[in-house]
Amino acid sequence: MDPNIRIMLIAEEGYAFKAYPDQDGIWTIGVGHARVTPGLVWTQAQIESQLVTDVNTAQRALTPWMLKLPAPVIGACTGMAFQMGAKGFLSFHDTLAALQHAQYAQAASDMMQSEWAKETPARAVRMATMIRTVAWLPWHAQEAALILKEAGISDAS
């Protein structure tokens, strides 16, 4: 897994050793791993292992041509698929068409017109910015470092 994707997802999802109800009341643990049993507790190794599995699942939504895009764009697409699932991500027809033609500004604009952007506006802005600028965001590294420090983990890689 690209370490930048790991950092991005920790910044977006958090890092929890104990299951908690998310903003929608769905029990979650680790790095955004949802639909778990209340009271569940994981080790760091379990969190990291499940994160790899969940990223692999999210990246299965990306078609072969998407995996040839620049790494930050792949990261943003992975982040979207991680959050909304393959079906949700693949419903962004205009965004995907723009990405296929390397029209990154148009893809970012299309993303921001979605219901998803209304539901999670800050995250949508960050993902759209990654695509528009074709760059990883320093905010992700800074936020992930804070989250990992609070979790008692000193190594952010």
Quote the pTM value: 0.95
Residue 42 has pLDDT above 60, yes or no: yes
Q: How far apart are alpha carbons 68 and 118 in whole angstroms?
A: 29
Averaged pLDDT of the chain: 96
Q: Which residue shows structure tokens 């072969």?
A: 64
124-152 pLDDT, tens digit each: 999 999 999 999 999 999 999 999 999 99
71-81 pLDDT, tens digit each: 999 999 999 99
Query: Is residue 155 very low, low, confident or very high in pLDDT (cuts 50, 70, 90)?
Result: low
Q: For position 157, what pLDDT does the model report? A: 53
Q: How far apart are alpha carbons 4 and 142 in whole angstroms?
A: 12
Q: For position 3, what pLDDT does the model report? A: 96
Residue 69 has pLDDT above 90, yes or no: yes
- Looking at per-residue confidence, does 155 or 114 come out higher? 114
Correct CATH for 3-150 of 3.40.50.300, 3.40.50.2300, 1.10.530.40, 3.40.640.10:
1.10.530.40
Q: How far apart are alpha carbons 62 and 105 in whole angstroms?
A: 19
Q: Which residues pair with 21 in a beta bridge?
A: 27
Secondary structure of 3-22 in the HEC alphabet?
Answer: HHHHHHHHHHHCCEEEEEEC
* Count of C-beta atoms within a 10 Å radius of residue 33: 20
Q: How far apart are alpha carbons 101 and 91 in whole angstroms?
A: 17
